[in-house]
């Protein structure tokens, strides 16, 4: 007998609507699975409704502000695909995750083409579903909370830690304090320096940017402090250095950790006394400059190694700011992706280009070893490939990743896989590889089959055999190696 609730029900243990992490409707004709998901998701802070079939599910969708529908595919009467079509017609803002014990690739293709957010195969754990839900709600929150986006100069962020950093920058910008910007490569330290300068009383004067990386001491000294005519071979005239060019303004010294120790003495004098001599000169040159230094290395560690002067370190470290890497502020990823899509819209014919939810999902999964700079380059490439249409996963993949991260991911996957039998593990690998290929190819079976290196007819048949892909993948690719690409 089909169970149909008389009225929409939510778990009694669910938190109040105002504090719930999100509202989820679970539709499944298996009472045990349905109730288990309701209880366990409610314990995680979601407000969970449940229905035994699609008809009851439609009534709940009509009467409750549902965020996500988690529905079985095969049910008496209307199927999960029918419910998906109804949701996308009447409530396009509601996301749908389909679950089924009858995992055929054809069903996955239909689900993705009809707008399903994701697809999960029974049996699965609540933890696996929770991971998908957490990712989904992170993306939704990033899209909905546009009022929480803050700007500082050309910097843009939604994350709380970046907002705190912006507050510190605003507090110190209109002073003459020396600032040390610390952060990994690609975290836009130059934009931070630019924002500080623009918000200071020196904004109408020059901002001089200079990278100290990999320069010979004599060249670096001349570039920073200038030289007199005849100071060395080729010095046919007096040349002002970067400090003179920045007079009354701001100078940014990037990669300050690369400055040789013999030049560090002159830099210390400028920082403390605001004067120096040009190369080959004897008369002191006075300058009024606000000094900002940037580094991706641990300066205190270099001090302990004898590679950086201790007195200079403490002089530069008057006000130190640590810029968090992109992987530690993931809620900024959708905001930055949208910003870069608008910034480089000329690559798509100067028209606005949407970013597909699955593409955002892939961006959120990435660890971004190149930080914001890498994200900008990825979006530029995607705009060039998308042909002026929306950016989809195949336009941004593959994403580069550190070998250490790949090995770590493989180790984690293998550790989890060890709990399953070999057939189940290989079957799960097969399913995930096929679904990823389908997403990358926007549901095109021929292209997905070509990418996987298997016959197209294989994708049309139900996947009853766990080692289906193993027939066609090159013999040198082991299960562990294949995991690296999931």
Q: Which residues of 374-401 are buried (b: 16+ CB within 10 A; e: fewer)?
A: bbbebbeebbeebeeebbbbbbbeebee
Q: What are the phi and psi torsion angles at 449 (to 5°)?
A: -65, -40
pLDDT digits (tens, 9 = 90+) for 316-350: 998 999 999 999 898 899 999 999 999 998 888 88
Considering the domain 160-322, what is its CATH architecture? Answer: 3-Layer(aba) Sandwich (3.40)
Q: What are the phi and psi torsion angles at 198 (to 5°)?
A: -65, -25
Q: What are the phi and psi torsion angles at 64 (to 5°)?
A: -125, 150
In the chain, % of residues over pLDDT 70: 78
What tokens does 326 get? 């992109």
CATH no. for 327-396: 1.10.8.60
Q: Which range is least confidently modeled, 135-139, 227-231, 333-337, 435-439?
A: 435-439
How confident is the model at residue 308, as a pLDDT? 96
Alpha carbon dihedral 281, 271, 181, 225, in 10-degree steps, equals: -10
Residue 22 has pLDDT above 50, yes or no: yes
Cite the beta strand spans of 176-220 per DSSP E.
179-182, 207-211
Q: Which range is least confidently modeled, 208-217, 344-353, 454-463?
A: 454-463
Residues forming CATH 3.40.50.300 domain(s) in the chain: 160-322
Structure pTM? Answer: 0.59
Residues forming CATH 1.10.8.60 domain(s) in the chain: 327-396
Which pLDDT band holds residue 250 (cuts at 50, 70, 90)? very high
β-strand partners of 118: 97
What tokens does 14 get? 């669910």
Which pLDDT band holds residue 93 (cuts at 50, 70, 90)? confident
pLDDT digits (tens, 9 = 90+) for 174-197: 999 999 999 999 999 999 999 999
CA distances from 398 to 181, 232, 326, 442 (A): 31, 51, 18, 15
Closest listed residue to residue 232, CA positions, set 296, 165, 279, 166: 279
pLDDT digits (tens, 9 = 90+) for 350-406: 888 888 878 888 898 899 999 999 999 999 999 998 888 889 888 888 886 554 444
- Mean pLDDT, the chain, rounded, equals 81
Sign of CA dihedral 95, 101, 105, 107: negative
Residues forming CATH 3.40.50.2300 domain(s) in the chain: 23-144
Sign of CA dihedral 164, 165, 166, 167: positive
Angle between helices 261-273 and 217-225 (to 10 degrees): 20
CATH no. for 23-144: 3.40.50.2300
């Amino acid at each position: 007998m089909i169970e149909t609730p008389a009225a929409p029900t939510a778990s009694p243990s669910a938190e109040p609507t105002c504090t719930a992490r999100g509202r989820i409707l679970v539709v499944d004709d298996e009472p045990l699975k349905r109730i288990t998901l309701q209880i366990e998701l409610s314990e995680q802070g979601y407000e969970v409704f449940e229905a035994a079939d699609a008809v009851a599910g439609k009534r709940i969708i009509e009467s409750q502000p549902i965020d996500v529908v988690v529905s079985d595919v095969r049910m008496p009467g209307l199927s999960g695909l029918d419910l998906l079509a109804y949701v996308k017609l009447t409530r396009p803002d509601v996301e749908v995750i389909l679950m089924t014990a009858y995992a055929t690739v054809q069903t996955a293709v239909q689900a993705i083409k009809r707008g399903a957010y994701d697809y999960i195969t029974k049996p699965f754990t609540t933890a696996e579903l929770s991971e998908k839900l957490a990712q989904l709600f992170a993306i939704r929150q990033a899209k909905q909370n546009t009022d929480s986006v803050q700007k500082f100069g050309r910097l843009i962020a939604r994350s709380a830690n970046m907002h705190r950093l912006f507050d510190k920058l605003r507090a110190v910008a209109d002073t003459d304090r020396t600032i040390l910007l610390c952060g990994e490569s690609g975290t836009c330290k130059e934009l931070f320096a630019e924002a500080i300068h623009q918000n200071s009383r020196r904004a109408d004067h020059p901002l001089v940017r200079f990278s100290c990386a990999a320069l010979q001491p004599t060249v670096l000294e001349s570039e920073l402090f200038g030289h007199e005519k005849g100071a060395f071979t080729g010095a046919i005239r007096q040349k002002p250095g970067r400090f003179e060019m920045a007079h009354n303004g701001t100078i940014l010294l990037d990669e300050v950790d690369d400055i040789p120790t013999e030049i560090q003495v002159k830099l210390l004098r400028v920082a403390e006394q605001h004067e120096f001599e040009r190369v080959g000169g004897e008369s002191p040159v006075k300058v009024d400059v606000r000094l900002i230094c940037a580094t991706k290395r641990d300066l205190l560690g270099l001090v302990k190694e004898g590679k950086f002067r201790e007195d200079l370190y403490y002089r530069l470290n008057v006000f130190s700011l640590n810029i968090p890497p992109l992987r530690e502020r993931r809620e900024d990823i959708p905001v930055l992706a949208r910003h870069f899509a608008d910034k480089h819209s000329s690559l798509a014919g100067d028209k606005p280009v949407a970013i597909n939810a699955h593409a955002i999902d892939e961006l959120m999964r990435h660890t971004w070893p190149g930080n914001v700079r890498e994200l900008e380059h990825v979006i530029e490439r995607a705009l060039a490939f998308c042909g002026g249409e929306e950016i989809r996963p195949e336009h941004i993949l593959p994403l580069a990743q550190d070998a250490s991260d790949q090995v770590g991911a493989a180790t984690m996957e293998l550790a989890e896989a060890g709990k399953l039998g070999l057939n189940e593990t290989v079957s799960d690998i097969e399913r995930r590889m096929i679904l990823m290929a389908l997403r990358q190819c926007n549901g095109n079976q021929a292209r997905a089959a070509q990418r996987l290196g298997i016959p197209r007819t294989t994708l049309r048949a139900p996947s009853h055999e766990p080692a289906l892909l193993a027939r066609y993948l090159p013999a040198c690719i082991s299960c562990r190696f294949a995991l690296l690409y999931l």
